[in-house]
Structure 1
Amino acid sequence: MTLELALPHGPADITASWLSNILGVQIQDALVTPIGTGQTGATYRAQLSFGRAAPASPRTVVVKLPSQDDAVRERVALGYRAEHAFYRDVAHTLAVPVPTVYHCAIDRDGADFVLVMDDLAPAEQGDQIAGCDPELARVAVEALAGLHGPRWCDPAWLDFPAASMPRGGSDFARGMGEFARLAAETTIEKLGAQLNAEDRDTVREAAELIETWLLAEPDRFCLLHGDYRLDNLLINAADKAVTVVDWQTLSIGLPARDLSYFLTTSLQPDQRREHERRLVTHYHTALLGHGVRDYSETECWTDYRLGTLQVPLITTLGLAFTAGTDRGDDMMLAMLRRGCRALREHDTFSLVRGLIHD
C-alpha cells in the first residue's frame, strides 16, 4: 500500500504492467471491465492472465478509481481522502470485516485515488430496496460492533482529520442544523406526492432537532461508517458472512447512529418491530466481547432510539445534493419512509427534546 507508482486516471491506465508492480508477480494480460453504477467513484474488475506458470495470486482484483466525471471527482475528493485514510491508518486497528487491500494511494489532495482490493465474488451487494431478513441483520450488526468496539471512546478519534462529520462543538452543530433544514425542504419539494403528509412533517421536525441531536451524549463516541446500509455490504450467502465496503462517509459521533441507520432502513417495518430489540441486544453483547465496559443494555437501547435521526439526515442530504438515478432515488425514498416510521414509533423527538431540558 505504499508503493510509489503513478496513479491510474482511468481504466486504460489499469494495465498488466501496472498491476504486476502492485501484486509483485508477472501478469501477462489484464481484462478490465466496469462494475457498479459509478455515481461517486468508478469501479472495475481486472481479470488477470499469468501465462504458463500461474502463481498463487488472485485471478481477479477490483480496482476503484475516482469518478470519471471531473466535476464529481472534485466535489467528492473528501470521500476519497476518507477511504484512503481508513485503509491506511485505521482498518488494521479494528475488527470489522473488510476486503484484503493490495494497494491504496492518493494524490492531488484526493483528486487522484486508487484502491486495489480482493474480488469477493460470488459475494453480492445487498439490496437496499428489498431489505434483508433478521438473520442477515444479526450478522451485519455483529460486524458493526467490530467497527465500534475495539476503539470505543478512543480520544484519538476527536482529532481524526478524515471525518466528513467530526464530533464538533456548537458552531458545527448549528451549521449542520441549517444545512439539514435546507436539505429537508429541498427533498420534500423534489419528492412531492411520493412522500405523504405525515412523513413530510416528520422530515421537517427531524431537521429542526439536528443541532441538539449532534451534541447529545458527548461522552460516547467512535468512528462511524456514516452510511452503513445493505448496498454497502457484500454478502456471502454460503458462509453467512458480510464484508463492509465504501468508507467515504466517515464520521465521529454516537456509535448507535450506525446501528439505527442500518436496522431501521434495512428491515421491513413489521420485521423491525418484531426483531429490533433482540438485534440491539446482540450488538450490545458483541460490543462487550470487544472490551467495551460501563455501557449498559438500557443505555444502548436509548442510544438506538436516539440514533434514528441519522436516517432523515443522510437520506435528505443524498436526495437534495447529489446527482440522482432512478434506482438511487427509489432507494433513498424507501429508506426515508422506513426511517420516518421508526422515528415516530420510537418517539425519538420527545427523547431529543428531553435533552434540551436536562
Structure 2
Amino acid sequence: MEPGAPATVSDEIPTDPAHLSPEWLTAVLRAHGGDVVVERVTATPVGSGQMAGSYRLRLDYRGASDLPSTMIAKLAVGPEEHRSFGSGAFRNEVRFYRDLAGTLRVPVPGCHAAVVSESGSEFVLLLDDLAPAVQGDQIAGCDAERARAVAVAAAGLHAPRWCDESLLEVPGMALPTDEDRALMESVLEPMAEAFLARFGDRIGDRERAAVGWLVERAGPWLVTPPRRYSLLHGDLRIDNVMFAPDGSVTVLDWQTITPGQPLRDIAFLLATSLTVADRRAAEREIVADYHRALAEHGVTDYSAEQCWEDYVASLIQAPLIIVFGAGAAAPTERGDRMFLTMLERAATAIDDLVPGALS
C-alpha cells in the first residue's frame, strides 16, 4: 500500500490471536510487500496493555525470507463494545505507523503490516520483536537515568514537527476546539466521580484534590492555544517503553497521539514514572537535558526557562490521562495498582510545583 492510502482491508481482521492463521498472516504480509508464505505460527502473550492485546508470533516460512522469524502482533481483543470504545485509539496507532513515524526521529519498532477495519473496532499491527529489551514497570517506576533517556528520545518525536502547520492537516490531528471542550467536560466529571467511587478509601485527600482540580481546570486548559505545539505521544510512561540492555529505548503504544504542547509528554512521564524522591532530585536536570535535545534537533527561539514553565503548566496531563485511562481500560488488579500509584505520584508533583492548586 502507498503511504496515505486508507489503512483498511476487506477481509475479516482477527480479534483473537488464535485467528492469526498462517493464511491470514501470509495475505497481510504480502499485501505490505513481503514475498513470503507463512507455514506455521505460534502466539504467546506479552506485555500489559490496557486497551489491546500483544502477542509474540513465532513464524515458520516456506523457503528463505528476509522477514524476521518472530514479530509482535498487536490487535484489538475482547467484546465488541470494548473494542468499539477504543476505535479512535486503534485508528490513531495505525495512522502513526503508516503516515507519521517516518517523519520523526523517535525510536519506534519497525512495522511490517498495519491494518484497521472501517469501524476502527478491529486492527492488527505486526511489529519488530525487540527482545531482549524489556518493558518498563509503571508500578515499580524507574530511576532518573532511564527517565532521562526516555525524555531525550521524546525530543526526537517533538522537534521534527515543532509548530509544523502541515501536522494539523493530517486527519484527526486538529488542535482542540470548543466542541471538543464541551464533549470532554460532558464526560470528565462523571468519569472522575466514577474513578473516586471505584477506588474509595484507597485514595487520600491530596489525590482527591488532584482529581477535583482536574475537573475544574481541564476545560479551559484544553482549548487554550499552545504557544508551541507538536505531535504528542499522549501517554508517555515507562509501561510504554522498551529498555534494551545497552540503555537505548524504544517507544511503544501510539494510540493517544494528538497535537499539543510538547511538555505534556514530559510532565506525564516524570510525574508518574519516577518516585517522588527521584523526581524532586532530578526533574529540573532532566527537563534541561530534554531542552538541549530539542535544540540539537533544530528547535530554536525556545529558552530553557520557557521549557520549564511549560513543564509545570502541563502537569494537568497526568490526572487527565489517569482518570480517562482508568475509565477506558478493563479493570484488572495490576491496572488498579498502577492507576493508584500514578495518581499518588502525580498529585504530589502538582502539590510541589503548582502553588495553591490542591489547597
CA offsets per residue over residues 85-144 of structure 1, 9 Å max, x none?
111110000011110101111222312311111111111110000000111111100111
The CA deviation string for residues 155-209 of structure 1, in whole angstroms up to 9 with x for no partner, is: 123343335xx52233423442443333222222221111111221222022201
Partner residue, 1:160: 170
Could you say which residue in structure 2 is the equivalent of 1:262?
269
Structure 1 240/114 Cα, relative in aligned 2: closer, same or farther at 3 Å? same
Point out the more displaced range, 225-234 or 188-197.
188-197
TM-superposed CA distance for 1:329, in Å, is: 0.9
Shift of 1:348: 5.8
1:34 pairs with 2:40: no
Counterpart of 2:205? 197
**In structure 2, do the counterparts of structure 1 residues 7 and 144 end up closer, same or farther at CA, with 3 Å as the change threshold?**
farther
Match of 1:353 in 2: none
What stretches of structure 1 move > 3 A for 4+ residues in a row? 1-8, 17-21, 36-39, 53-57
Change over 3 Å in CA distance of 1:7–1:28 after alignment to 2 = same
Q: Distance in 1 between matches of 2:204 and 2:112?
A: 47
Query: 1:76 Cα deviation (Å)?
Result: 0.8
Gaps of 5+ in 2: none
Q: What does 1:121-136 align with in structure 2 at a 5 Å threshold?
A: 121-136=131-146
**Structure 1: which 5+ residue stretches go unaligned?**
351-358
The residue number in structure 2 matching 1:212 is: 220
Please give the alpha-carbon distance, in whole angstroms, between the structure 2 residues aligned to 1:127 and 1:65.
21
Equivalent pair of 1:162/1:250 in contact (CA under 8 Å): no
- Report the identity percentage: 40
Task: Report if the CA contact (8 A) 2:272-2:342 is conserved.
Answer: yes
1:344 aligns to what? 351
> Could you say if the C-alpha distance between residues 57 and 252 of structure 1 is closer, same or farther in structure 2, counting changes exceeding 3 Å?
closer
Superposition map of 1:180-329 within 5 A: 180-236=188-244, 238-329=245-336
How far did residue 71 of structure 1 move? 1.7
Q: Does 1:170 align with 2:178?
A: yes
Which of 7, 11, 29 is equivalent to 1:6?
A: 11
Which has the larger displacement, 93-102 or 54-63?
A: 54-63
TM-score calculated relative to the size of structure 1 = 0.90
Whether contact under 8 Å (1:312, 1:336) holds in the other structure is yes
Corresponding residue for residue 138 of structure 1: 148
Aligned residues of 1:7 and 1:113 also touching (Cα < 8 A): no
- The whole-number CA distance in structure 2 between the counterparts of 1:60 and 1:308 is 39
Matched to 1:193, the amino acid is D
Q: Is the 1:44–1:62 Cα contact (8 Å) retained in structure 2?
A: yes
CA distance in 2, matches of 1:137, 1:173: 31
1:89 to 88, 99, 103: 99
Q: Secondary structure at the match of 1:252?
A: strand
- 1:16 matched to 2:22: yes
SS class of match (1:108): coil
* Matched AA of 1:46: L
Please state if 1:68 is matched with 2:89: no
Amino acid at match of 1:191: F
Distance 2:229 2:150 in 1: 20
- Contact 1:78 1:110 (8 Å CA) reproduced: yes
Cα separation, partners in 2 of 1:67 and 1:348, compared to 1, 3 Å: farther
In 2: Cα distance, 1:271 partner to 1:258 partner: 18
Higher alpha-carbon deviation: 251-260 or 311-320? 311-320
Deviations 1:26-84 (A, max 9, x none): 43322223333564222222112246x54443111111221132221111111111011
Are the counterparts in 2 of residues 223 and 255 from structure 1 also a CA contact under 8 Å?
yes
TM-score, normalised with respect to structure 2 = 0.90
Closer, same or farther: CA 221–348 of 1 in aligned 2, 3 Å? farther
Amino acid at match of 2:268: Y
Counterpart Cα distance in 1 of 2:241 and 2:82: 23
Q: Which amino acid aligns with 2:75?
A: L
The CA distance in 1 between the partners of 2:141 and 2:252, in whole Å, is: 18
* Structure 1 residues 262-302: Cα deviation after superposition (integer angstroms, max 9, x where no partner): 01101101110110000000111111111111111111000
Q: How does 1:52-63 map to 2 (within 5 A)?
A: 54-63=64-73
| Aligned amino acid, residue 41 of structure 1 | A
Q: Distance in 2 between matches of 1:215 and 1:107?
A: 31
| CA RMSD across the alignment | 2.2
Aligned AA for 2:341?
Answer: A
Alignment CA distance shift 1:209-1:118 (3 Å)? same
Q: 1:98 to 1:323 in 2, by over 3 A?
A: same
